[in-house]
Amino acid sequence: MTTAAIPSAKILQQKDFLSITDISGEKITKLLKLAEQIKATHSLGEQYKPLQGKTLGMIFEKSSTRTRVSFEVGMLQLGGHALFLSSNDIQLGRGETVSDTAKVLSQYVDGIMIRTFEHEKVTELAAEASIPVINGLTDLSHPCQAMADLLTIHEIKGTLKGLKMAYVGDGNNMAHSLMMACAKTGMDFAVGCPEGYEPNSQVVELAKEAAEQSGCKSEVFRDPKDAVKNADIIYSDVWTSMGQEAENEVRLRAFKDYQINSELVKYAKEDYIFLHCLPAHREEEVTAEIIDGPHSAVFHQAGNRLHAQKAILVDLMA
């Protein structure tokens, strides 16, 4: 039986994991390699517990399936422990300042993961804490999901550089993290979105600059067919995210021509893969035929949340 190499516990030497914008392409590549090593070690049933005795505090102001389970299981498998801290159960939800929360938790735990709304809350928490802080999701950014996506693409395609990802739908936190991740790893990236739902203009400019340095392209299109043309990966997300429920009817009308279906995927390469960060609304942003079809890798992708995040945890906390 082949024995997996025991991963190195020190790769990035970086205190926090807040945004793909903060991380170089080289560091992303090293983290992905670490994730692959950890995944191989786990698949062979070998013990790898560099976080023995360590505790991760997990603050949730947004509900979650994949983020909570993958971080909690990841800490357990790495030898550590995770604490679920709902905003309804801690004083942050009753008016305690982010600064005070950061300083108090720094006395108790070895790292903090937070899933919340305002990105500024995460950056303030990181600035005030003396321990690593991980962004589990904000309205601006979803870097842990993007790392799992890159890991999935690399495993299926064998490379990242030179591929093209097409993201169709709302220019949201997922679009932001993916466009930066592609730009920094040499992947072309194209967004197809309706007017009024474009990605953040600052993120778009940063992605274009990073793409130029990596020798690839980062573009925004109005017509989804232009975005999907010759794509190796097609990516979609829900049209109405948490906190936008009041806009649902308006959004359904705005995005009706941006569904991933059998007609749209004809513009992609024949061996394209379909990704979705989940949860998915079948027959809205994607038809069941596509998400449950042979090109879909959404559950492979969801499983890689565990392995990508284990690499982040090891790097920051080991």
Is 257 one of the annotated active-site residues of the chain? Answer: no
What the block records as the tokens of 220 is 């925004």
Is 277 one of the annotated active-site residues of the chain? Answer: yes
What DSSP element (H or E) covers 142?
A: none
Among 142, 154, 251, 307, which one carries the catalytic annotation?
142
Quick one: CA dihedral 107, 108, 112, 114, positive or negative?
negative
The maximal CA–CA distance of the chain, rounded, in angstroms, is 56
Backbone angles phi, psi at 251, to 5 degrees: -70, -40
Is 13 one of the annotated active-site residues of the chain? Answer: no
Is 119 one of the annotated active-site residues of the chain? Answer: no
Could you tell me which residues are annotated as the binding site? 64-67, 91, 115, 142-145, 173, 237, 241-242, 277-278, 305
Is 237 one of the annotated active-site residues of the chain? Answer: yes
Could you tell me which residues are annotated as the binding site for L-ornithine? 173, 237, 241-242
Bridge partners (DSSP) listed for residue 192 = 168, 221
The rounded distance, in Å, linking the Cα atoms of 75 and 78 is 5
Among 119, 276, 305, 307, which one carries the catalytic annotation?
305
Could you tell me which residues are annotated as the binding site for carbamoyl phosphate? 64-67, 91, 115, 142-145, 277-278, 305
276: left (phi over 0), alpha (psi -120 to 50) or beta: beta
Among 77, 145, 301, 309, which one carries the catalytic annotation?
145
Among 237, 259, 301, 307, which one carries the catalytic annotation?
237
What DSSP element (H or E) covers 10?
A: none
How many CB atoms are closer than 10 A to CB 231?
24
Q: What is the DSSP letter of 161?
A: T
Among 139, 176, 277, 307, which one carries the catalytic annotation?
277
**Bond from prior residue into 294 cis (ω within 30 degrees of 0):** no
The rounded distance, in Å, linking the Cα atoms of 265 and 99 is 47
What the block records as the tokens of 216 is 């690839």
In one-letter notation, the amino acid at residue 35 is A
Is 170 one of the annotated active-site residues of the chain? Answer: no
The rounded distance, in Å, linking the Cα atoms of 31 and 310 is 10
Among 77, 110, 115, 259, which one carries the catalytic annotation?
115
**Given the structure tokens 């930066």, which residue do they identify?**
180
By annotation, the residues acting in catalysis are 115, 142, 145, 237, 277, 305
